[in-house]
Amino acid sequence: MTSTAGSTRRPESLLRRFSRGERLVHRSIATLMSLCAGSAACLYFPPLAQLVGRRHLVVVVHEWSGLLLPAPVLLGLASRAFRADLRRLNRLAPYDGQWLRAVRRGTPGPRPAGKFNAGQKIYAGWIAGAVPLMTFTGLLMWFTGALPAISRASAIFVHDVTAFAIAVVVLGHIRLAYRDPEARRGMRTGSVTTAWARKNHPQWAEEPGRRRTDSSKCAPRCSGGDASSHAEGR
Amino acid sequence: MSEPESGPPIARRVMLSMLGLGAAGIAAAPFVQNGWERVLGAVSQHDPTGLSGLLPNPGGFRYYSVTASVPRKTAADYRLEIGGLVERPGTYTLGDLRALPQTRIVGEARCTDGWRVPDVPFAGVLLSDLLDAAGVRAEGRAVRFTCFDGVYTESLTLEQARRADVLIALDMLDEPLTHEHGGPVRLYVAPMYFYKSAKWLSGISVTDKVIPGYWEEYGYDVDGWLDQEA
């Protein structure tokens, strides 16, 4: 799948986007989120509840998948690549405003973005706030009376409303991935084509460090390059 | 390595805003919850697709079962057995129960999971009538309920069981109980959370002490009074 070192004239030039550790973090979160949301649906939606039954088992799956949801992120902090991407996700670059305006107006014009576009940055921050909120309110429902100041009804209310919001947002996340096979490939294999990166993440594709790595490896006009050279360059 | 992207910490701000919104939600919940339930209830009543069942608190009942599937019982094969510490153990068919004096109670169905349905009419035989007919022996202190799903159990003290708002329900919403709602016969304990109102009731046994029911083994209160917490 990835090109071999030195083969810069392949028909498809690839950029390294995600390390093995980062992909493992994503896959673990996706699995846990599927379990958590799927079991929630079986607890909530009457036809599914009638189909599945086994309420106690479903409750246990929901509680533990939810509780473990932040674990892949915490373990991922051991990875330098993951920490670097968290830093990128956190920072709103000047061109991100342009991306947001373009998306809001639905104009076809240029949508500048670094490794992550402004939407991905907001999504990451939102879900990073929503999950602890679900953990907190979920624990209050699990251990009733742990905090007497907060009634169980209040915890359930926030848990339910936030769950609804997460369902909408995560379905949107999946829909965008479904519409872009190349983005999915980046998360599956770790690499994307340079053409895709230039179109969707131009500021990332053209980063000075990246270009220097390329030019040191191949001809001056070449800004593509193979995956392994980028792994070293980063 | 210089930072490839710099600027205000947007993700952190969004995350903290979300946490703040959650805290505000918890603080505001007691005031906004009723309105929210009313809106969802109104939506689900004018919804031919049934999709509003996906909404939180759809203003209706939800289906809970602790087993994979529950056998269906009709008037032909339904039996309610009464035994344990009683003078006259017996078995009732659905027809037997319908022939006894019926009581109608309008009460709330409130689940520990936050949904509730107000003003639900239940009708059936008072549990105290059945206990009197069977003759509770002097050492009887509590009642244990078993269900034909094969797993679920519930319990009441004898004093609770004799209350005038504890019913062996045959009708709900003035219709015969459907299978989904625990039919043909379920318990209805009006003053307690709905988990006490065991569905698919098949056995009543008088015991010398309270034997905790299914959810009570997992930490639910044995005395599930509604007024204990909001």
Residues B46 and B103 in one domain: no
Q: For chain A, what's the residue count?
A: 234
Residue A220, pLDDT > 60, answer no
Residue A5, pLDDT > 90, answer no
Q: Please enumerate in sequence order all residues whose Cβ is within 8 A of that of B230, keeping only pairs 6 or more positions apart, or say none.
A: A151, A152, A153, B30
Q: Which of A6-10, A87-91, B64-68, B211-215 has the lowest mean pLDDT?
A: A6-10
Residues B171 and B83 in one domain: yes
Q: Which amino acid is at B179?
A: H
Name, of A211-215, A221-225, B17-21, the range with top average pLDDT: B17-21
pLDDT for B66: 79
pLDDT for A57: 93
- Pick from A59, A137, A158 the residue to mutate for testing the B interface (most B CBs within 10 Å): A158
Q: A73 — contact with chain B (CB < 8 Å)?
A: no
Residues B21 and B115 in one domain: no
User: Comparing A119 with A216, which gets the higher pLDDT?
Assistant: A119
- Pick from B2, B17, B26 the residue to mutate for testing the A interface (most A CBs within 10 Å): B26
pLDDT for B47: 58
Q: A96 — contact with chain B (CB < 8 Å)?
A: yes
Q: Which residue of A has its CA nearest to B217?
A: A56
Residues B116 and B186 in one domain: yes
Per the prediction, chain B carries an average pLDDT of: 86
Name the percent of chain A in helix, strand, coil, to the closest 5. 70, 5, 25
Mean pLDDT over B21-45 rounds to 78
pLDDT for A37: 96
A vs B, Cβ pairs < 8 A, gives 154
Residue B168, pLDDT > 80, answer yes
Q: Which of B1, B57, B70 sits opposite A160 (nearest CB)?
A: B57
pLDDT for A210: 62
- Residue identified by tokens 């958590």 is A36
pLDDT for A184: 96
- Pick from B13, B17, B18 the residue to mutate for testing the A interface (most A CBs within 10 Å): B18
Exposure b/e, B72-101, CB count within 10 A at least 16 = b: ebeeeebebebebbbeeeeebebeebbebe
User: Comparing A34 with B34, which gets the higher pLDDT?
Assistant: A34
Q: H or E stretch including B27?
A: helix B10-45
Residues B84 and B47 in one domain: no
Residue A64, pLDDT > 70, answer yes
Measure B191 CA to nearest chain A CA, in Å.
18
User: Comparing A2 with B78, which gets the higher pLDDT?
Assistant: B78
User: Comparing A4 with A64, which gets the higher pLDDT?
Assistant: A64
- As given in the structure block, the two tokens for residue B23 are 């805290």
Q: Which of A58-72, B8-22, B43-57 has the lowest mean pLDDT?
A: B43-57
Instruction: Give percent above pLDDT 70 in chain B.
Output: 84
Residues B132 and B24 in one domain: no
Q: Which of A48-52, A130-134, B51-55, B129-133 has the lowest mean pLDDT?
A: B51-55
Is B67 within 8 Å of A126 when comparing Cβ atoms?
Answer: no
B-contacting residues of A 3-42, CB under 8 Å?
none
Residues B90 and B35 in one domain: no
In a domain, B60, yes or no: no
In a domain, B73, yes or no: no
pLDDT for B34: 72
Contacts 24+ apart (CB under 8 A), A170-178: A170/A33, A170/A37, A170/A127, A173/A123
pLDDT for A231: 38
Maximum Cα interatomic distance, chain A, rounded to a whole number of Å: 68
Distance, CA of A218 to CA of B11 (rounded, Å)? 37
| Chain B residues touching A162 at Cβ < 8 A | 22, 25
Tell me if A160 sits within 8 A of B39, measured CB to CB.
Answer: no
Domains of chain A: 16-192 (1.20.950.20), 196-234 (no CATH)
Distance, CA of A53 to CA of A39 (rounded, Å)? 11
In a domain, B198, yes or no: yes
Q: Which amino acid is at A179?
A: R
DSSP three-state, residue B123: strand
Is B7 within 8 Å of A133 when comparing Cβ atoms?
Answer: no
Q: Which domain holds residue B24?
A: 10-54
| Chain A residues touching B9 at Cβ < 8 A | 90-92
pLDDT for A156: 86
Q: A81 — contact with chain B (CB < 8 Å)?
A: no
Q: For chain B, what's the residue count?
A: 230
DSSP three-state, residue A201: coil
Residues B187 and B100 in one domain: yes
Residue B55, pLDDT > 60, answer no
Residues B89 and B146 in one domain: yes
Residue A225, pLDDT > 50, answer no
pLDDT for A134: 97
pLDDT for A80: 96
Distance, CA of B154 to CA of A52 (rounded, Å)? 22
Distance, CA of A225 to CA of A211 (rounded, Å)? 9
Residues B102 and B193 in one domain: yes
Residues B50 and B163 in one domain: no
In a domain, B69, yes or no: no
In a domain, B63, yes or no: no
pLDDT for B41: 64
Residues B37 and B117 in one domain: no
User: Comparing A197 with B61, which gets the higher pLDDT?
Assistant: A197
pLDDT for A223: 41
Measure A88 CA to nearest chain B CA, in Å.
6
pLDDT for B227: 74
Is B18 within 8 Å of A125 when comparing Cβ atoms?
Answer: yes
Contacts 24+ apart (CB under 8 A), A197-203: A197/A15, A197/A17, A200/A111, A200/A113, A200/A117, A201/A113, A201/A114, A201/A115, A201/A116, A201/A117, A202/A110, A202/A112, A202/A113, A203/A93, A203/A95, A203/A112, A203/A113, A203/A114, A203/B5
User: The domain that contains B193 carries what CATH number?
Assistant: 3.90.420.10
Q: Which of B4, B11, B12 sits opposite A207 (nearest CB)?
A: B4
| Chain A residues touching B113 at Cβ < 8 A | 43, 141, 156
Over the stretch B65-124, which tens digit does the pLDDT of each residue have?
877 778 899 999 999 999 999 999 999 999 999 999 999 999 988 887 767 788 889 999
Instruction: Give percent above pLDDT 90 in chain A.
Output: 63
Mean pLDDT over B50-56 rounds to 53
Q: How confident is the model at residue A3 (pLDDT cuts 50, 70, 90)?
A: very low
- As given in the structure block, the two tokens for residue A91 are 């920072």
Mean pLDDT over A98-104 rounds to 91
Measure B57 CA to nearest chain A CA, in Å.
8
Tell me if A160 sits within 8 A of A189, measured CB to CB.
Answer: no
Over the stretch B180-198, which tens digit does the pLDDT of each residue have?
889 899 999 999 999 999 9
The domain tally of chain B equals: 2
Is A53 within 8 Å of B65 when comparing Cβ atoms?
Answer: yes
Residue A189, pLDDT > 60, answer yes
Q: Which residue of A has its CA nearest to B31?
A: A154
pLDDT for A146: 84
B-contacting residues of A 109-168, CB under 8 Å?
114-115, 118, 121-122, 124-126, 128-130, 132-133, 136-137, 141, 144-145, 150-158, 160-164
pLDDT for B35: 75
